[in-house]
Structure 1
């Protein structure tokens, strides 16, 4: 067979997808005619399709040397360079191809991918649009355009672009999956679920698609179905990234205590071995400080794989006022927003310039307006952490306080760029960040004792009295009736408005024994997992209707309805934080138990700072006995309420002005060390 026939045979095998045969034939041809430009090019393209990008680049560069004006060689060279994450080099190859062939739609499309990888999203979209002007019906380009828009957080436009791709190619499973991801980010979980199900119908064994469907199910609070998906993923691959950790989260929210016990037993082995679980989820499972730190450090490595160069390099600022920035996603109708507003209003504005760095979507709530009014500057930022860090450096921030930690939407990783001399964690997350770029964590001696320092990457800095801000100027409205709140007209009301994922079997057992011993009493809980919890109550011999679930109401109504309860019962190992503060502000005594780590000690701090230290117990037995004694002694409970009301004028918990001074003093002391 002559060389031409061999070439045609190799090309036919390549085009027919028989890559092994094509590779053998191309190699045989090159052995007979070394340096043949077209064969070298085709073998390079084949190597690229096999994922052997280093070999592909070498072959394609050799082909290009022989055919410098061949746009197809430049196209495939750009593709191979992209596979090596050499996006700038790939861009140059595509630009050379387009200089030779300006209407090369495939080069325009792939150029858009390289630009998107370089986060030049505007240029990427222009390149995709140029490709689509040539080939409007190219589903792949519409899809890639959607990916770029999604990365740029232009989510509505991303969904529209995915829709164009899917109209042209309904069988594109990745298109349905990525559309679902964009819809999830748009908080359209039901629509996202539909998209993920379309993707799974096309590729039922795709674990990534199933994980995404489980996320949508969790968002819709269909935790049992989410757990089933996670189980199916782990059946196929027990080590599938995040499946175990997400199953742990779903089990918490479902109050699936059998599953919780199994997962809890696995924690000490799985986490040190590298299994992923969200640090915030772990706080509800374990009080082990060493495990919490290991988990936080792992999560931080995932969030910041390569630490950026510091933006602040030791410069000394000489400002008339200390520039104090608070970073949060929650300057809105959210517990952190409600807690921080009164604190901001009480800062010494003669000495401190107060700047809010606000992540998240725009919010026209009263609390956001109040926060804006309390600050010298209120700066809304996007999700580009590097850009936000650069903004902080331009502002010459002296002290940056992160209020989010590992909570949703947190701006913690902004501080990885070290934009400020002093960087602090406070309030929103009750655990270590595991970050060496966070200098200190503000708390008090009860919530976070100095003996816990070994479990914290940050320096523990104690604030006198209390670390928790309270809004003593909160508007109070009349309480709803017991009937309107869904409560019986009479009987003792035990209450816990913590998220129900914080409820553990040992705590629930105590609560059920209390209901058994106090005739006519009810347990008033936050809505969520009602069917599961009522079933658990029945299994313990308690009529399910004695569990009453409080539905969502406006915040001022929620605050007012606390007055219908007789005693707030706390949870462990993760106890009441903002919920304890709300109860105490409403005059409702909070019975808590001192835990072993920060999340389980906050309520003890608040109750003590409110002047009711006798409501802090130190064992499960003492907790149960005191709850029972208080429920049987109305006069004693009335006395506690009266003391709580009187203490609003003098107790540290209610002195937010003093807290502002204490935070300022702590910041100044930390600045002195820089």
Structure 2
């Protein structure tokens, strides 16, 4: 951020895990305040005492939420951003930061907050995410050396029976292909393999990836051919990780914020041709790409070229747009006007 115009304070409500990311975050702000030891009332007192102008909630209704702090209105302008892909449904949140894909203007009646649309993707991305220099081989990942690798590292609770049907049909139509999934827990492998068998697919064609440190996780994307997104709840960070690692993502645009995030990311990285509008189109395009190595290779090359030029990973440009949004929010409050929806740029 432009420190001549903004003073940035972080209020942490999560436990200190001792990670390098935690240390990096602590050093990234003008002030880093740990609110874990204090109750909501004391947190409200501290934030109000710090004379915060704009309070941005990065958690929403997710793990570790402390919505009661915002309900007490410790800041004159309060914003819902990033952590929760939807409305808070609360009159104490003034704005939600979105883009024209995840929340088009006609969606305003479905949000308690005023929509603030950034010109590209709403999602901030970290261009300092390291990718391990040592890329694993397919065999090291438990994958066949030959054959098409469909991949989805989304949390498995996003996999619906209807979507799983699509994936099993793809395996049936692409001989030698496998589906590489994230092993979210000890039971998911057995259960999904049983579901594959029920659909007439050899369970051995489902392969599960254990949790890894982020650099190693990003590096193993190189072993996959195509990332298959989930619907109606898309990949979010998982999709941006795949794109950062150079793996094309195929999505189907949904009807809600949570189901349109991958479309936002693909648009911002210059790959709108990987956005489909129905399950049928999604299945058809996945099959076409699996059968056309040259077409898929061209998409991978385009992604490699766009990664350093497209808006999705332009941190400086994103920051300028976000600062423009905050400035207009503050100007609106200073002018005595009610929060109003607007677009940046």
**One fold, TM greater than 0.5?**
yes
> Which residue does the alignment assign to 1:379?
33
Asked if 1 retains the 8 angstrom alpha-carbon contact of 2:148 and 2:177, the reply is yes
Q: List per-residue Cα deviations over 1:427-461 (Å, max 9, x = no partner).
A: 01101111100000001000111111111110011
> Which residue does the alignment assign to 2:146?
490
2:45 alignment partner, one of 375, 382, 390: 390
> Which residue does the alignment assign to 2:207?
548
Cα distance, 1:509 vs structure 2 = 0.7
SS at the partner of 1:509? helix
Q: List per-residue Cα deviations over 1:450-473 (Å, max 9, x = no partner).
A: 111111110011011111111222
SS at the partner of 2:9? strand
> Which residue does the alignment assign to 1:55?
none
Cα distance, 1:476 vs structure 2 = 2.0
> Which residue does the alignment assign to 1:410?
65
Asked if 2 retains the 8 angstrom alpha-carbon contact of 1:402 and 1:411, the reply is no
SS at the partner of 2:329? helix
In 2, distance between residues paired with 1:645 and 1:473? 16
Number of residue pairs aligned between Structure 1 and Structure 2: 328
Asked if 1 retains the 8 angstrom alpha-carbon contact of 2:16 and 2:22, the reply is no
> Which deviates further from its counterpart, 595-604 or 654-663?
654-663
Q: List per-residue Cα deviations over 1:523-573 (Å, max 9, x = no partner).
A: 000114111111110011100010001011222111110111000001111
SS at the partner of 1:349? coil
> Which residue does the alignment assign to 1:435?
90
- In angstroms, what is the RMSD of aligned CA positions? 1.0
Cα distance, 1:362 vs structure 2 = 2.2
Asked if 1 retains the 8 angstrom alpha-carbon contact of 2:179 and 2:206, the reply is yes
The answer on 1:350 being equivalent to 2:28 is no
> Which residue does the alignment assign to 1:259?
none
Cα distance, 1:481 vs structure 2 = 1.5
In 2, distance between residues paired with 1:525 and 1:371? 30
> Which residue does the alignment assign to 2:249?
590
TM-score (structure 2 length as normaliser):
0.93
Q: List per-residue Cα deviations over 1:594-645 (Å, max 9, x = no partner).
A: 0000000000000111100010000111100100000011111111011101
Unaligned residue ranges in structure 1 (runs of 5+):
1-346
Cα distance, 1:479 vs structure 2 = 1.4
In 1, distance between residues paired with 2:68 and 2:111? 17
> Which residue does the alignment assign to 1:509?
165
Cα distance, 1:474 vs structure 2 = 2.2
In 1, distance between residues paired with 2:128 and 2:159? 31
2:56 alignment partner, one of 381, 386, 401: 401
The answer on 1:458 being equivalent to 2:113 is yes
Q: List per-residue Cα deviations over 1:123-164 (Å, max 9, x = no partner).
A: xxxxxxxxxxxxxxxxxxxxxxxxxxxxxxxxxxxxxxxxxx
Q: List per-residue Cα deviations over 1:88-125 (Å, max 9, x = no partner).
A: xxxxxxxxxxxxxxxxxxxxxxxxxxxxxxxxxxxxxx
Cα distance, 1:649 vs structure 2 = 2.2
In 2, distance between residues paired with 1:621 and 1:363? 43
* Stretches (4+) displaced over 4 A: none
TM-score (structure 1 length as normaliser):
0.48
> Which residue does the alignment assign to 1:16?
none
SS at the partner of 2:164? helix
Higher relative contact order (CA 8 A, sep 6+): 2
Counterparts of residues 47-446 of structure 1 (less than 5 Å)? 347-382=1-36, 384-446=39-101
Cα distance, 1:425 vs structure 2 = 0.6
Q: List per-residue Cα deviations over 1:284-313 (Å, max 9, x = no partner).
A: xxxxxxxxxxxxxxxxxxxxxxxxxxxxxx
> Which residue does the alignment assign to 2:343?
none
Q: List per-residue Cα deviations over 1:55-99 (Å, max 9, x = no partner).
A: xxxxxxxxxxxxxxxxxxxxxxxxxxxxxxxxxxxxxxxxxxxxx
In 2, distance between residues paired with 1:413 and 1:626? 45
> Which residue does the alignment assign to 1:652?
311
> Which residue does the alignment assign to 1:244?
none
The answer on 1:500 being equivalent to 2:159 is no
In 2, distance between residues paired with 1:360 and 1:607? 30
> Which residue does the alignment assign to 2:341?
none
In 1, distance between residues paired with 2:95 and 2:244? 29
Bigger Rg, which one: 1
In 1, distance between residues paired with 2:280 and 2:255? 16
